[in-house]
């Protein structure tokens, strides 16, 4: 099964987001890494940040970021 990136912001850096509504921030971050969502941006010459975000009651709960 192939996944999709939930959101990408390209600015001074590249920010890749995965949101989990019934999961946790660690699962979200692992999904980005496991499915290598960042690979197509590696040659862009910008720093890449991965964000795993969990939602709680329609609000952003906790999140984690990792720079690659």
Residue 30 included in any domain: yes
Question: What confidence score (pLDDT) does residue 16 get?
Answer: 98
**Residue 42, domain member (yes or no):** yes
Residue 3 within a domain: no
Count of other CB atoms within 10 angstroms of residue 29: 21
Summarize pLDDT for 19-37 with one digit per residue, the tens: 998 879 999 999 999 999 9
CA distance 51 to 29: 6
Judge whether 24 lies within some domain.
yes
Between β-strands 14-20 and 48-56, what pairing exists: parallel, antiparallel or unpaired? parallel
Does residue 34 form part of some domain? yes
The reply to whether 40 falls in a domain is yes
Q: 40 lies in which domain range?
A: 20-48+55-59
Does a structural domain hold residue 26? yes
Q: pTM here?
A: 0.89
- Tally of structural domains, the chain: 1
């Amino acid at each position: 099964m192939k996944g999709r990136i939930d959101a990408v912001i390209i600015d001074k850096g590249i920010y890749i987001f995965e949101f989990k509504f019934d999961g946790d921030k660690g699962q979200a971050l692992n999904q980005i890494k496991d499915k290598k969502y960042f690979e197509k941006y590696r040659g862009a010459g910008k720093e890449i940040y991965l964000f795993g975000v969990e939602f709680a009651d329609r609000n952003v709960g906790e999140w984690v970021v990792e720079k690659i």
